[in-house]
């Protein structure tokens, strides 16, 4: 017996699954859709945000920069969601999306950019945020997410690699206690936000979810930007770096993070952050001719091995069980 409304619900479910980029397990995925490719693309795109952010901060106050970045990105996501007529998250899903905007965007980037404006070196910022996999693992244990021995070994190697990469820059800068507290706020933000996104954001459409996250982040940071006097010089360098942060980091970078968290465990996706400082060091070598020392190369290798143990090997071990 057919119950009225069944076809509508079934059709809605099929549309929701399509929008959530679900792929049946029986299908073989093409190379460009594999987790390894997506992870590599995410690391590369996300890492470009460090030099781009550094350039932008030379032309604008930190919270003004973030309001412009998140505001424009949020409006673009909002327009994409409206054009595609995707469902908007409601109830617990809507609240979770808003909270991810609070933690992953406002707290993380607000803390990091403010710390740099207070004199924290890029090396110290990378070292603190690079410990995010450990923090998310601790949070994940509270939600009964299993962390294997290979992953713990990978975490240790990843931290060691980051320490080597930024060893010659940790002492740089003129940061005080306020800068380090801001970095801790940023670390807490990205750690909690990543766990929330994985646990509660998997059923939300990418476009509507990221629109809410970016617009919430914009509204939270708006009073701080107003206090700064919305300070930005409007130069070509600022416009180009801001455009990069919006298009590459906020649009492409966060979209990839959204998809990766939907496909894998929180701890495995978080392990990719071990590669951020090493990849950033390589980018700086080509972009601003910053020396690429033997210490950094060794650190890169340790971080890469840590990511391998924390993701691929851990996944293979869990499947074997």
CB-based contact 298:241 (threshold 8 Å): no
- Cα distance between residue 310 and residue 299, in whole Å: 16
Tell me which residue has tokens 């924390």.
310
The per-residue pLDDT for 290 is: 66
Angle at CA of residue 90, ends 89 and 96, nearest 5° = 70
The per-residue pLDDT for 233 is: 95
Other CB atoms within 10 Å distance of the CB of residue 252: 16
- Cα distance between residue 275 and residue 165, in whole Å: 10
| 276 Cβ contact list (under 8 Å, min separation 6) | 43, 46, 47, 50, 126, 129, 130
- The number of residues in the chain equals 321
Instruction: For residue 161, report the phi and psi dihedrals to the nearest 5 degrees.
Output: -65, -45
pTM greater than the 0.85 cutoff: no
From first to last of the 321 residues of the chain, give the pLDDT tens digit. Answer: 444 444 444 344 444 433 343 334 434 545 445 777 888 899 999 888 888 888 899 999 999 999 999 999 999 999 999 999 999 999 999 999 999 999 999 999 999 999 888 887 666 777 778 778 777 877 776 666 666 777 777 778 777 877 776 665 554 455 678 888 898 899 999 999 999 998 887 789 999 999 999 999 999 999 999 999 999 999 999 999 999 999 999 999 999 999 888 887 677 788 788 788 778 777 777 766 667 777 777 877 787 777 777 665 444 444 444
- Cα distance between residue 61 and residue 320, in whole Å: 51
Residue whose C-alpha is closest to residue 245's, from 40, 44, 43, 70: 70
Domain ranges of the chain: 36-147+174-265
| 51 Cβ contact list (under 8 Å, min separation 6) | 280, 283, 284, 287, 288
- Cα distance between residue 194 and residue 257, in whole Å: 9
Structure tokens at 146: 């299993």
Residue whose C-alpha is closest to residue 217's, from 111, 105, 49: 105
Instruction: For residue 173, report the phi and psi dihedrals to the nearest 5 degrees.
Output: 85, 175
Other CB atoms within 10 Å distance of the CB of residue 211: 26
- Cα distance between residue 32 and residue 34, in whole Å: 6
The per-residue pLDDT for 123 is: 62
Q: Please tell me the number of Cα atoms within 13 Å of 266 on its side-chain side.
A: 29
Letter string b/e over residues 128-151, b meaning 16 or more CB atoms within 10 A of that residue's CB = bbbbbbbbbbebbeeeebebbebb
Q: Please tell me the number of Cα atoms within 13 Å of 269 on its side-chain side.
A: 24
């Amino acid at each position: 017996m057919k119950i009225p409304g069944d076809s509508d619900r079934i059709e809605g479910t099929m549309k929701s699954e399509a929008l959530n980029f679900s792929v049946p397990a029986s299908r073989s995925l093409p190379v460009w859709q594999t987790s390894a490719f997506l992870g590599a693309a995410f690391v590369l795109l996300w890492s470009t945000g460090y030099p781009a952010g550094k350039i932008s901060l030379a032309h604008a106050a930190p919270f003004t920069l973030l309001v412009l970045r998140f505001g424009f990105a949020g409006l673009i996501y909002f327009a994409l969601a409206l054009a595609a007529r995707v469902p908007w998250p409601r109830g617990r899903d809507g609240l979770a999306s808003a909270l991810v905007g609070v933690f992953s965007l406002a707290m993380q980037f607000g803390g990091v950019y403010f710390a740099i404006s207070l004199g924290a070196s890029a090396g110290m910022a990378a070292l603190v945020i690079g410990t995010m996999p450990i923090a998310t693992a601790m949070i994940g244990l509270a939600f009964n997410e299993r962390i294997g021995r290979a992953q713990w070994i990978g975490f240790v190697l990843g931290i060691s690699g980051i320490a080597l990469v930024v060893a010659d820059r940790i002492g740089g800068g003129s940061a005080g206690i306020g800068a380090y507290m801001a970095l801790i706020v940023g670390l807490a933000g990205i750690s909690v936000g990543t766990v929330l996104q994985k646990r509660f954001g998997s059923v939300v459409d990418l476009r509507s979810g990221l629109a809410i996250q970016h617009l919430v982040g914009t509204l939270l940071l708006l009073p701080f930007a107003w206090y700064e006097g919305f300070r930005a010089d409007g130069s070509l360098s600022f416009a180009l770096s801001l455009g990069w942060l919006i298009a590459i980091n906020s649009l492409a970078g966060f979209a990839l993070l959204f998809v990766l968290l939907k496909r894998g465990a929180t701890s495995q996706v978080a392990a990719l952050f071990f590669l951020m400082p090493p990849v950033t060091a390589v980018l700086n070598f080509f972009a601003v001719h910053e020396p690429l020392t033997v210490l950094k190369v060794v650190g890169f290798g340790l971080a890469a091995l840590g990511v391998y143990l924390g993701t691929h090997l851990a996944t293979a071990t869990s499947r074997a069980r």
